[in-house]
Structure 1
Amino acid sequence: MGQKTVCVIGAGVGGLAVALRLRARGYRVVVLEQQATAGGKMAQLQLGDYRFDRGPSLLTLPHLLDELFALFGRRRSDYLPIVQLEATARYFFSDGLVLQAWSDPDRFRQEVAAAGLPADRLADYLRQQAFLYTHTADFFLFSSLHRWQSYVGEEGRKSLRALPRLDAWRTMHRRNRSTFGDSALTQLFDRYATYNGSNPYKAPATLNMIAHLEHHTGAWFPKNGMHAVVQALQTLAEEQGVEFQFSTRVTGLRTQRSKVVGVETPAGVVEADWVVSNVDVTAFYRDLLPDKRRYRRLSRRERSSSALIFYWGLRLQSSLDVHNLLFSADYKAEFDHLFKYKTLAEDLSVYIFISKKVVPGAAPEGCENWFVMVNAPEDVGQDWKRLTARVREIVLAKIKAVLAVDVEQVLEEEAVVTPVDIARETGSVNGSLYGHSSNSPLAAFLRPANFSSRYKNLYFSGGSVHPGGGIPLCLASARIVDELLMEKDKDNKKGTP
């Protein structure tokens, strides 16, 4: 196909995956990244002797990474060793119940039964989620929903046949409550809505299939921390000749009729035959290729939640797991505050992620690195200094009450990230972690497409477009872009308009 040039804007995990796939096709690939390092939300933070993963904290569907290395005859394990976690998380409920969510469904069912919860319903529930995933993933996650061809293909027909069981017109919470009643399992499975920044009291029950990924396909963690995913992909890309330009801000795009012909930077214009944007698509139409109509339309859609994160280097050795969640007593109130009032409730669910449990070098001997997060609303001008101070008090009190740990007595290092920081550092509009929320039955179809309808050589990857946020979906978006671009390139060679 000759040495055509693809310019990828943004070196997040979706951008890296696109770069690798297109490099394997024989393109010259240039990646422009405004930060000094790759990763986007999958960045790393060093505080003294403590190292923290700043973004995603769990790896599912690792075969999507395997695919990228296999493109070049490499093994992912040589670049990125990972371990399978026995438990996905340890849950602490407001009534004192502690539940270990084992990755193995049989072991998890035994744990649930021992706690006096409805274990008999759990097996059927997980089988239903497995059905949803196996009958819809190829269509909803790995195909473009914005092309008619996807609906007449085998994947589309398979999903349409499963339509009566997709449960799209009930919310996640209604489905979970109808199965588990008022038991702790309802809150546990409602929690999966937060994996794409949504509200379980509004998001379609189809999203309950996320549970299948952890309890059937497995939960994994890189031996060197989550940022090692980025490092491995970048290393492979550089070995294969992908060109990176870091600390390079894209200021705009040059167009001619129905094509993008160049990407503007302070250092000059990068000419390209194809352009793939891995930045927040709303920000793209606001800043890089200004389009008031598209920007207004995207801005009107409800955005996902954000996060308020405390990074604490602590002089202690806890009995906690890698992933831990201290639930609030009123889960619905939390989500009402997030999406309706754009603030935080007085009783919060607190997520604690400790990579030291897998990565010994992430904290000094006898110490732990706590990534402590609460779900936060998008930034709409709140007083984050005041909110952060209040949330810190709530979180410290909850940890002391539930875990009997006085954080301030063992605190050695601390940093805080608010939605404002997330917006500034990652380009995510209003600090929303996943672009738009999935709080409607048609959310999957309303997510922005992976291609431009106006410019025939412009594509989009990453968490703000189809199929959504999170590592697996960003990798899926890269696969979709790869297939779309190849189809277009073949059409161009045949002279198809």
Structure 2
Amino acid sequence: MTRIVVIGAGFGGLAAAVRLLAAGYQVTVVEALERPGGRAGYLELGPYRFDTGPTLITLPSLLDELCRLAETSLENELELVRLRPAYRIMFSDGTWFDYWGEPELDEAEIARYDRAAVPAFRSYMTATRRIYERAFGDLAREPFDSLTSFLRVVPELLALRAHESVYRFAGRFFREPHLRMVFSFHPLFIGGNPLRASAIYSIVPYLERLEGVHFARGGMRAVVLLLARLVERLGGEIRYGSPVTRILTDHRGAVAGVALANGDLLPAKAVVANSDVATTVLDLLPPASRPQLLRLLLARARYSMSCYLLYLGVARRYEQLRHHTIIMPLDYEQQLRELFDGNGTLSELAFYLHAPAHTDATFAPPQHESLYILVPVPHLGKTGEWSAEQRRAFRDRVLTTLEALHGLDGLREAITAQAEWTPMEFRDVLRSRHGAAFSLEPTLLQSAYFRPHNRSGIPGLYFVGAGTHPGAGLPGVLLSAAVTSRVLGEDIPPERDRLVLTAERIARERGTR
């Protein structure tokens, strides 16, 4: 059988492994950490449980596609809870907006701020539906690794206003400042700056309405374990605690396998890298094998912001919070400029709070919170190293701001357990260049054809995950796995017939029941 090595057991790597196994390849996944998930990790602090990375599920049909390849269904494997509201957005003037993803309820919220904006909202959703159906529904499944294929769709993208920023696009429909924030902040979910991220990324409110915003009972850990289970059910191997030190190439410069930190060499016909794309090219490939253009692109690219993450076990409940709560700064535009283009300092803080015990009681004791606090911060290329004193000072600033400005009274005194991550952990643990939380920033000139291709340009090396097309976020990463497995299959067909393998696997499973 054709052997494929997948570097990294994050969502992208596991999803690619499922697709490749179902297509008839032999797949080994090598993961540096001792458990699957990558950025989608989990943490336990006594009786408190936390997701440490992504926390919400949109387009669960993409997960169901993977389950179907293993002859099961998402419904059989996982319990999803649709969140109502999907999230609450709190503003610095003390008001809030609950986003439901349901027309009547959303229009009622909009009317509280500007009744005249209700028909504009309907027009906005119609416009974003058109963008979604073409740019995401169709084009996100295309590899865009040739300039010709990209140029063919440029007129269409311009007609969809892809050249405009999300913020400007939202401003065509919403003049009221609160509403313009509500309908433009979504690129931050994938590391983008709403002031320059392409209007293509305005699709999120429509996407959230399409299949809802969900929480997996048990957290994202349950989703990661499901994908790992599918890999093993299809006959794949996952090796944990196995960091890759280099990608092996042959005399022609084609990929020949990987070398692990323990000295093992794993030969392979192809390598699918779910590792950080910049780290893969700049650190894991032999210098002579690095494509010059890609090396220069990654060395000079714009990288996403990073995150400061504080995980708190809290001996009280905050009823003003919802499962997902976003707290906006007073000066939204200034915050974005400082975050992405400033000198590393922030005059204000914005927050994303995850309070899963409001939905799943197993995350904290009764009347307690397992509170995940995320603050967007500049990446290490702008700030340099975080000293122990800077960590302490930033943590104090986070707690003081939440207590004094945003109504989380008594937070500091109620803390019974805590842990934190800074951009340095993104760099040192997850091996992300500059400690960027979402790899490359999704600008127009770092998307589609201008993003590292799923085919790397090196024979036998393929990229999957946030750093390649179509981009970050759970839907984008799962779609990248679909694109990458498809182009790999076109380049290196499996040596054995898929139907024969499927029949053999079914026979094995029946024999063990």
Which letter maps to 2:327?
A: L
Aligned mates of 1:234, 1:64 — CA distance in 2: 16
Q: Secondary structure at the match of 1:251?
A: strand
Change (3 A) 1:253 1:9: same
What's the counterpart of residue 23 of structure 1?
A: 21
What's the counterpart of residue 349 of structure 2?
A: 348
Return the match for 2:57 from 35, 56, 59. Answer: 59
User: Residue 299 of structure 1: CA displacement?
Assistant: 1.6
Change (3 A) 1:331 1:183: closer
Aligned mates of 1:59, 1:447 — CA distance in 2: 24
Which letter maps to 1:277?
A: A
What's the counterpart of residue 263 of structure 1?
A: 258
What's the counterpart of residue 45 of structure 2?
A: 47
Return the match for 1:186 from 180, 197, 200. Answer: 180
| Structure 1 residues without counterparts, runs of 5 or longer | none
Which letter maps to 1:447?
A: R
Contact map agreement 2:114 2:176 (CA 8 A) in 1: no
Query: After superposition, where does 1:224-243 map in structure 2 within 5 Å?
Result: 224-243=218-237
Q: Secondary structure at the match of 2:444?
A: coil
Q: Secondary structure at the match of 1:141?
A: helix
Return the match for 2:97 from 96, 99, 107. Answer: 99
Aligned mates of 1:441, 1:149 — CA distance in 2: 16
Return the match for 2:77 from 76, 79, 99. Answer: 79
Aligned mates of 2:234, 2:174 — CA distance in 1: 51
Return the match for 1:478 from 478, 481, 488. Answer: 481
Change (3 A) 1:200 1:19: same
Change (3 A) 1:402 1:14: same
Aligned mates of 2:193, 2:132 — CA distance in 1: 20
Return the match for 1:460 from 455, 459, 463. Answer: 463
Change (3 A) 1:262 1:116: closer
User: Residue 488 of structure 1: CA displacement?
Assistant: 1.4
Aligned mates of 2:240, 2:386 — CA distance in 1: 33
Change (3 A) 1:184 1:245: same
Aligned mates of 2:84, 2:36 — CA distance in 1: 30
What's the counterpart of residue 451 of structure 1?
A: 455
What's the counterpart of residue 133 of structure 2?
A: 134
Q: State the TM-score, normalized to the length of structure 1.
A: 0.93
Query: After superposition, where does 1:418-433 map in structure 2 within 5 Å?
Result: 418-433=422-437
Return the match for 1:201 from 186, 195, 198. Answer: 195
Q: Does 1:122 align with 2:116?
A: no
Contact map agreement 2:58 2:214 (CA 8 A) in 1: yes
Query: After superposition, where does 1:336-485 map in structure 2 within 5 Å?
Result: 336-380=337-381, 381-400=384-403, 401-440=405-444, 443-455=447-459, 457-485=460-488
Contact map agreement 2:2 2:494 (CA 8 A) in 1: no
User: Residue 57 of structure 1: CA displacement?
Assistant: 1.2
User: Residue 224 of structure 1: CA displacement?
Assistant: 1.1
Change (3 A) 1:352 1:187: same
Query: After superposition, where does 1:293-308 map in structure 2 within 5 Å?
Result: 293=292, 294-308=294-308
What's the counterpart of residue 276 of structure 2?
A: 280
User: Residue 441 of structure 1: CA displacement?
Assistant: 5.3
Aligned mates of 1:479, 1:48 — CA distance in 2: 38
| Structure 2 residues without counterparts, runs of 5 or longer | 497-513
Which letter maps to 1:482?
A: S
User: Residue 169 of structure 1: CA displacement?
Assistant: 2.1
Which letter maps to 1:207?
A: Y
Return the match for 1:250 from 221, 229, 244. Answer: 244
Change (3 A) 1:103 1:329: same
Q: Secondary structure at the match of 2:309?
A: strand
Task: Single out whichever of 363-372 and 164-173 deviates more from structure 2.
Answer: 164-173
Task: Single out whichever of 291-300 and 419-428 deviates more from structure 2.
Answer: 291-300
Q: Secondary structure at the match of 2:144?
A: coil
Contact map agreement 1:143 1:150 (CA 8 A) in 2: no
User: Residue 190 of structure 1: CA displacement?
Assistant: 2.1
User: Residue 191 of structure 1: CA displacement?
Assistant: 1.0
Task: Single out whichever of 338-347 and 54-63 deviates more from structure 2.
Answer: 338-347
Aligned mates of 2:408, 2:463 — CA distance in 1: 47
Aligned mates of 2:371, 2:416 — CA distance in 1: 11
- Residues 240-260 of structure 1, C-alpha deviations (whole Å, 9 max, x = no match): 211111101211122121421
Q: Secondary structure at the match of 2:244?
A: coil
- Residues 237-294 of structure 1, C-alpha deviations (whole Å, 9 max, x = no match): 1122111111012111221214211211123211111211110111011221034634
- Residues 328-365 of structure 1, C-alpha deviations (whole Å, 9 max, x = no match): 10112212222222424222111111111222111112
Which letter maps to 2:118?
A: A
Contact map agreement 1:305 1:338 (CA 8 A) in 2: yes
Which letter maps to 1:412?
A: T
Change (3 A) 1:386 1:447: farther
Aligned mates of 1:249, 1:491 — CA distance in 2: 26
Aligned mates of 1:384, 1:227 — CA distance in 2: 31
Contact map agreement 1:144 1:150 (CA 8 A) in 2: no
Contact map agreement 2:218 2:360 (CA 8 A) in 1: yes
Change (3 A) 1:120 1:397: farther
Q: How many residues are aligned here?
A: 485
User: Residue 383 of structure 1: CA displacement?
Assistant: 3.5
What's the counterpart of residue 492 of structure 2?
A: 489
Runs of 4+ in 1 over 6 A off after TM superposition: none
Superposed CA RMSD in Å reads 2.1
Q: State the TM-score, normalized to the length of structure 2.
A: 0.90
